[in-house]
Chains A and B, each alone.
Chain A
Amino acid sequence: MISNKSELIDEYSNYFFISLINAVNSVVGGEKLKLLNFQNKIISDAGDHEGDYLGEVSDEIKSEYGILFETDDDKFLASRINSYVPMCLSETEKIYLKAILHSKYSKLFLSDDEISLLDNSMKDIPYIPIDEYVVSSPSHSASYFDKQADKLRLLLSAIKENREISYSNKTRNADYIDKCGYPLKIEYSVLYDVLQLSLWSSDEHRPVKLNIHSMYDIKATENIWKEKKSPAEMLETKRCKEPIIAEISDNINTLERADILFSMYDTKITENKGKYQLEIKYYEYEKDEIIKNLISFGPYIKILSPPEMVDSIRETIITLFEKQQ
């Protein structure tokens, strides 16, 4: 039986602690750091760039750093022990690691030998099939993902090198042959349990999203991205200036459903005179998905702006009404 005291996150996952270990290891690895550089390195790596939150913690380092270091004549730190500080994993983290190693996603990134090697190194760790206990449907089989491993590796390599690819793509309605574009990011769609690719289309000069399983004949071309902005920065330029504003009916259930459904977007909910207003900021390429999600609420969410989206919803409702008669 696994102890129920095992916590999901504990004090040893603390950013400050991880940064401290990394800074100590830098000194052990030969980096020349004086105390002040050491303190600043920790604070900065821990994400407190202005020293606003951890600044005072840094003072505590100053008074006790001697536990780990001596200083030489030039005030550079030298580790008392000539060994790295290991980055330990908690019981929970090891269980999680073992679980994902046994998951259907592992072969997307690791060979059978690598999986077996890692698994052997964790033979004393209990195996909990987390994805069996946390059910989600629809769900594709392991073999579905195994088949995509080669394509994924090629795409990841192209992303790393900012390299263009040529590809063909078969959708339910059409077959797109010999297209070209720069892969930007890989995306996982939880709704369909599929891998998707965000790509900057060389032909259409806009972001395109593709299901990786429907892509074929993928090849890296000789072309490397030459624009000043990186492909990912080009994606950022597609952020819509005017947010969607929608009114949520006075129903706590609808509100809670909207909370989580739109939680991946930049949202704000304000309450005024008993009515809730939802504001969603989004990228152009997310528009259709957001509209679809808003429609799924039916008359419990009313879109107030932008006007073109209100018009689009009106058209949709008119069509639906005609269809439903």
Chain B
Amino acid sequence: MAGNKKQRQFFKDYSVAKPFLEKVFYYGSYSAQDFAEADICGKSKYFDMQKTLRYVFGSLIEETRNAKGQKALNLHIDHLYDPHRAFLRFFALKSFTSVSRLLRICYVLQRINADVSCTVKELSEGLDIISGGVESHSTVVRILNDMHSKGFLEKKGSAYSIAYDATKLKSGDIQLLVDFCTSAYPLSVCGSGILNKIDQKYESPFLFKHRHLGQIFNDETVWKLILCIHNRQSINITTKRGSFLYDLLPYRIITKKETGRQYVFAVYTGEKDYNEYLILRLDRIKKIDIISVSDMSDDTLIEKYDTAFRYSFNGTTIINRSDEPAVGTLIYDNSFEWNIKKHFPNCEPVIVDDTHKKVEIKVNSFTELKPWLRVNADKVRLVESSDGVVDELHEELVKWRKMYDIK
């Protein structure tokens, strides 16, 4: 019993559990010593955590030797087996509560369901008779208040009723939609939670391919920001590096599809002479504090957003209102025109020869184009740019050749 309690206690220390799992997930080579050196947890907690991760991830977790010969936990991700539910199991353990309380919650829900609605008095008297207890009234009040505040129960006068029963969603098609959205829609862990409630043994016809599974660690931040965006609330942000950003009104969360990185675009609402807007990587955020409700209009926010990204190639680089975009020229194979038109629909191509065309483009930064240029380098090349990226790319190519001993 003691070990079990210790484990539950450990999970409440979420500030330790989450970075622990992140390291296991991304690296798979962290030993107990490495966790201690990284200031994540001591050696004794490592073993508690190991036991917990074994429960959460089952055979996906393996302990192997790392390069230093030390034992290290490694999480195997295989997209034929959806790991979302395992992650859900982890996130939901955050608030592991006592069995005694859970049984009482079951009683309360079952009774309300049977009677359609119930009062505190009816529920606590019923519970008193069964348990012979004297604390049922306060227990029931706590349960009802908590479940009401989280949206599980509705309250009319002094009577409580069930707000929404997920079992009525147990039709194949809605399950398919929820399942599909765990891959295609933001907040995948939430979809997994609903799916698990509808049918714990559901088997997916989808190939798990959440391209950027690591985004799952951002989900809680994404949810907090979504609420602030919706409520039009200004926030202060504390970054993991210890800096503070004040008076920001979050407007959009941006996902860079090529890399999976997520950013928040926010507008400065304070009175100091700071930048008008900024974008910040979500994995850099440590804490969000809500400060006030902003009266900034939709039109103003849209105008600022459009201004910031006015020449952005993939929607993740901003420029200030007064900045000029970078200008450059691309030469490309005719067979690649579909891609050029997709990215630069308003540019006019000029024929270079029978097989090539060129196009003048404006972008927020050519650095944004680098991965795209590398991947498509057999079809397109940047021949000039106002921000020096042409030279950078050439130097990189030389370095690349050298790296593979190409003469």
Tell me the A residues contacting B by CB distance below 8 Å.
1-22, 24, 28, 45, 47-49, 52-54, 56-57, 59-61, 64-68, 79-94, 96-97, 99-101, 103, 105-106, 108-110, 114, 118, 121-122, 125, 128, 130-131, 133-138, 156, 159-160, 172, 184-191, 198, 232, 235-236, 256-257, 259-261, 263-272, 277, 281, 292, 295-299, 302, 310, 313-314, 317-321, 323-324
**B80 and A236 contacting across the interface, CB-CB below 8 Å:** yes
User: In the assembled complex, how far is the CB of residue A101 from the closest CB belonging to chain B, in whole angstroms?
Assistant: 8
Do B97 and A14 touch across chains, with their CB atoms under 8 A apart?
yes
Q: Do A65 and B103 contact each other (CB < 8 Å), given the known contacts A156-B205, A185-B206?
A: yes
What is the CB-to-nearest-CB distance from B210 to chain A, in angstroms, rounded to a whole number? Answer: 6
B197 within 8 Å of A by Cβ?
Answer: yes
CA distance A135 to B184 in the complex (A): 12
Q: With a CB–CB cut-off of 8 A, which chain A residues contact B86? A: 47
Check B61 for interface membership: any CB of A closer than 8 A: no
Contact among A109, A190, A296 with B211 in the assembled complex (CB-CB below 8 Å): A190
Can you show 14 pairs from A to B with CB atoms below 8 A apart? A4-B224, A9-B189, A10-B150, A12-B105, A54-B55, A67-B104, A84-B113, A88-B163, A97-B169, A99-B185, A100-B181, A186-B205, A191-B258, A317-B397
Q: Which of B267-275, B346-354, B358-366, B398-406 contacts A (4 or more CB under 8 A)?
A: B398-406
User: Which residues of A have CB within 8 Å of B330?
Assistant: none
Smallest CB–CB gap between A45 and chain B, Å? 6
The residue in chain A whose Cβ has the minimal distance to the Cβ of B223 is A8
Chain A residues with CB below 8 A from B110, complex form = 24, 28, 68, 79, 81, 83-85
B92: chain A residues within 8 A (beta carbon)? 9-11, 13-15
Q: With both chains docked as a complex, state the minimum distance between the C-beta of A188 and any C-beta of chain B, in angstroms.
A: 5
B213 close to A (CB within 8 Å): yes
Q: Chain A's nearest CB lies how many Å from the CB of B246?
A: 18
B94 within 8 A of A: yes
A105 with B173: CB separation less than 8 A: no
In the assembled complex, B4 has its CB within 8 A of some CB on chain A: yes
Q: How far is the CA of A60 from the CA of B246 in the complex (A)?
A: 48
Q: How many A-B residue pairs have CB under 8 A?
A: 402
CA distance A180 to B197 in the complex (A): 37
Chain B residues in 8 Å Cβ range of A24: 106, 110
A54 vs B98: C-alpha distance when bound (angstroms): 12
Q: Which residues of chain B are within 8 angstroms of A48 by Cβ–Cβ distance?
A: 55
CA distance A141 to B43 in the complex (A): 51
In the assembled complex, the Cα of A109 lies from the Cα of B90 at a distance in Å of 29
A195 to chain B, nearest CB (A): 9
Q: In the complex, are the beta carbons of B54 and A52 less than 8 A apart?
A: yes
6 shortest A-B CB distances, which residue pairs? A91-B151, A185-B207, A53-B55, A83-B114, A11-B95, A263-B214
- For residue B117, CB closer than 8 A to chain A, the reply is no
B260 with A133: CB separation less than 8 A: no
Known: A87-B167, A100-B177. 4 other contacts (CB 8 A): A68-B110, A105-B184, A114-B174, A188-B184
**How far is B100's CA from A61's CA once the two chains are assembled, in angstroms?**
8
Q: Does B252 contact A (CB under 8 A)?
A: yes
Kindly supply a per-residue 1/0 record for chain B positions 94-122, scoring 1 wherever the CB is within 8 Å of any chain A CB and 0 otherwise.
11111110111111011111100000000
Q: With a CB–CB cut-off of 8 A, which chain A residues contact B88?
A: 9, 13, 15
Neighbouring B residues of A5 by C-beta, 8 Å: 149
Distance in Å: Cβ of B305 to nearest Cβ of chain A: 9
CB-CB contacts below 8 Å: B53-97 with A: 54-56, 58, 66-68, 74, 76-80, 86, 88-89, 91-97
- By the criterion CB–CB under 8 Å, are A88 and B55 in contact? no
**Residues of chain B contacted by A118 (CB below 8 angstroms):** 169, 174
Known: A133-B253, A270-B66. A89 touches B186 (CB 8 A): no
CB of B194 within 8 A of CB of A93, answer yes
Cβ contact within 8 Å between A268 and B371: no
Contact pick for A90, options B151, B214, B224, CB 8 Å: B151
Determine if A260 and B259 form an interchain contact, defined as CB atoms under 8 angstroms apart: yes
Question: Do B151 and A296 have beta carbons less than 8 Å apart?
Answer: no
Contact between B95 and A10, CB atoms less than 8 A apart: yes
Cβ–Cβ < 8 Å partners of B340 in chain A:
none
What residue in chain A is nearest B27 (Cβ atoms)? A269
Residue numbers in B under 8 Å from A323 (CB-CB): 377-378, 381
Interface contact A318-B200, CB-CB below 8 Å: no
Say how far A80's CB is from chain B's closest CB, in angstroms: 7
B103/A2 in contact, CB under 8 A: no
Contact pick for A128, options B94, B112, B189, B230, CB 8 Å: B230
Kindly state the separation between the CA atoms of A130 and B79 in the bound complex, as whole angstroms: 25
Query: Which of B99, B181, B207 lies at the interface centre, i.e. has the most chain A CB atoms within 10 A of its CB?
Result: B99
Min C-beta distance of B118 to chain A, whole Å:
11
Distance, CA A292 to CA B258, complexed state (A): 11
Whether the pair B397, A320 counts as a contact (CB closer than 8 A) is yes
Residue B325, interface by CB 8 Å:
no
Q: Is B103 a contact partner of A68 (Cβ separation < 8 A)?
A: yes
Contact yes or no, B177 A263, CB < 8 A: no
Complex: how many Å from CA A297 to CA B80?
26
> In the assembly, what is the distance between CA of A52 and CA of B206, in Å?
31
B127 cross-chain contacts in A, Cβ below 8 A: 67
Q: Which residue of A lies closest to B94 (CB)?
A: A9
Does the CB pair B150–A20 fall under 8 Å? no
Contact A88 B205 (CB under 8 A): no
A80 touches B130 (CB 8 A): yes
Distance of A51 Cα from B70 Cα, bound (Å): 28
Residues of chain A within 8 A (CB-CB) of B55 are 47-48, 52-54
A261-B114 CB under 8 A given contacts A87-B167, A110-B174, A298-B370: no
**Does B215 sit within 8 A of A, measured CB to CB?**
yes
Shortest CB distance B398–A (Å): 9
Answer yes or no: B131 CB below 8 A from chain A CBs.
yes
Interchain nearest-CB distance for B35 vs A (Å): 14
The interface residues of chain A lying within 8 Å CB-to-CB of B196 are 13, 15, 18
Inter-chain contacts of A295 with B (CB < 8 A) = 374-375
- Chain A residues with CB under 8 Å of B229's CB are 133
Q: B206-244 CB contact bits vs A (8 Å, 1 = yes)?
A: 110111111100011011111111110100000000000
Given A100-B177, A298-B400, A321-B397 in contact, is the A263-B95 Cβ separation under 8 Å?
Answer: no
Contacts of A8 in B (CB 8 A): 91, 187, 189-190, 219-220, 223
CB of B404 within 8 A of CB of A88, answer: no
Given A14-B97, A85-B113, A86-B165, A100-B4 contact (CB < 8 Å) = no
Task: For the complex, give the distance between the alpha carbons of A23 and B113 in Å.
Answer: 17
* Chain B residue at minimum C-beta to C-beta distance from A314: B404
Does B165 contact A60, Cβ atoms closer than 8 Å?
no
Q: Which of B197, B255, B260, B372 contacts A89 (CB 8 A)?
A: B197
